[in-house]
Chain A
Amino acid sequence: MAKKLKEVLDDAGISMDLQYGGESPEGLTEREIKKSPHPRVQKLKDIFMDTLSSANNEFPYWYTREYMMHDNEIPVVRRAKALRTAFSHLTPVIFPGELLVMRKASFFRGSFPMPWLSEGFYMAHEDDFYQEALKRGSASVDEHSKFGQGGGNVTKSFGKVISIAGKFGMRQEEVPALLKLAKMWAGKSVDDLGNKYEKMVPEYPVKEQIMRSIVCMFDSGFTLPQGREVINYYYPLEYGFDGIIKMATELKAEVAGKADGDGMVGMNRLYNYEAVIIALQGVQNWIANYSKEARRLEKLTTDKIQKKEYKEIADRLDWIEHNPPRTFIEALQMIETIHLAVLNEDAISGMSPGRIGQILYPYFEQDIEAGRITEDEVIELLELDRLVKTSIDCFASTGVVGGVLSGNTFNTVSIGGVDRFGQSAVNRLEYLILEAAVRNAMPQSTIALLYDEKIPEDFLMLAMDVIKSGAGYPAFMNSPIAQEFLMKQYGPEGMNLEDARAWAIGGCLETSPCAWKPLHLNGKEYFIPGGAGQPTSVGVHFISMPKVLELTLFNGVDPRTNEKVYEPHNRKLNSYDEVWDQFTKYWQKSVEVLAWTNNIQHDIWRKNNMAVINSLLKPDCLDNGHLINELGYRYNGTFNIESAGTITLVNSLAALKKLVFDDKVVTLAKLKEAIKDNFGFKDAREVNSFSLADQEKRDDSAGKWEELHFKTLQAPKYGNDDKYADEILLQWENFFCEDSSKYESLYGLKMYPCQISVSTHGAMGSATLATPDGRLSGTTFADASMSAYPGTDRNGPYALLNSATIWDHSKSQNSQLNIKIHPTAVRGIEGSRKLLDLTRAYMRKGGFHVQYNIVDSKVLKDAQLNPKNYRDLMVRVAGFTQYWVEIGKSVQDELISRTEYEGV
Chain B
Amino acid sequence: MKNLIYKDTRNYSPIDVTKGVDLLTGKIVMADNTAPENYELRPKCKFCQNYKEENEFNGECEASMSDPKFFAYGDMDSVTCGMYKQIN
State the A residues within 8 Å of B (CB): 47, 51-55, 57-58, 61, 65, 68-69, 88-96, 106-110, 152, 154, 159-161, 169-171, 173-177, 180, 289, 293, 297, 300-301
Contacts and interface: CB of A to CB of B under 8 A. Distances in A.
Contacts of A173: 57, 73-75
Contacts of A58: 76-77
A180 B64 CA distance: 16
A91 B79 contact: yes
Interface in B1-50: 11, 13-18, 21, 23-24, 26, 28, 32
Nearest to A162: B17
B16 A93 contact: no
B13 A176 contact: no
B77 A91 contact: yes
Instruction: Classify the interface of chain B: helix, strand, loop or mixed.
Output: loop
Contacts of B76: 57-58, 61, 174, 177
Contacts of A51: 15-16
Contacts of A175: 57
A47 B15 contact: yes
Interface of B: 11, 13-18, 21, 23-24, 26, 28, 32, 55, 57-58, 64-66, 70-71, 73-77, 79-81
A53 B17 CA distance: 8
B16 A52 contact: yes
B80 A91 contact: yes
Contact of B66 (A53, A69, A180): A69
22 contacts: A47-B15, A52-B16, A52-B18, A54-B17, A55-B17, A61-B73, A61-B76, A88-B80, A92-B79, A96-B21, A106-B14, A107-B16, A109-B15, A110-B16, A159-B18, A169-B17, A173-B73, A173-B74, A174-B57, A174-B73, A174-B76, A176-B58
A483 to B, nearest CB: 43
B13 A93 contact: yes
Contacts of B64: 65
A95 B24 contact: no
Contacts, number: 96
A51 B70 CA distance: 33
Contact of B73 (A154, A177, A300): A177
Given A65-B66, A107-B14, A176-B73, 8 more contacts: A54-B14, A55-B17, A61-B73, A88-B80, A108-B14, A152-B16, A177-B71, A177-B76
Contact of A161 (B13, B18, B23, B58): B18
A170 B76 CA distance: 12
Contact of B80 (A154, A169, A289): A289
B80 A177 contact: no
Contacts of B15: 47, 51, 95, 107-109
Nearest first, the 3 A-B pairs at minimum CB distance are A177-B73, A173-B75, A54-B16
Contacts of B77: 58, 91, 106
Contacts of B23: 96, 297, 300-301
Contacts of A293: 79
Contacts of A169: 16-18
Nearest to B32: A160
Contacts of A91: 77, 79-80
A94 to B, nearest CB: 7
Nearest to A170: B17
A163 to B, nearest CB: 10
Nearest to B26: A96
Nearest to A91: B77
A68 B71 CA distance: 12
B11 A171 contact: no
B13 A95 contact: yes
Contacts of A69: 65-66
Contacts of A176: 55, 57-58, 73
Nearest to A46: B28
Nearest to A177: B73
Contacts of A53: 16
B7 to A, nearest CB: 8
Residue in B18, B21, B66 whose Cβ sees the most chain A Cβ within 10 Å: B18
B14 A174 contact: no
Contact of A68 (B13, B66, B79): B66
B52 to A, nearest CB: 15
Contacts of B70: 65, 68
Contacts of A154: 17
B58 to A, nearest CB: 5
A109 B24 contact: no
A301 B79 CA distance: 19
A794 to B, nearest CB: 47
A569 to B, nearest CB: 52
Contacts of A96: 21, 23, 26
B17 A161 contact: yes
A479 to B, nearest CB: 40
A110 B64 CA distance: 27
Q: Most chain-A Cβ atoms within 10 A of its Cβ — which of B28, B55, B58, B79? A: B79
Contact of A180 (B24, B58, B81): B58
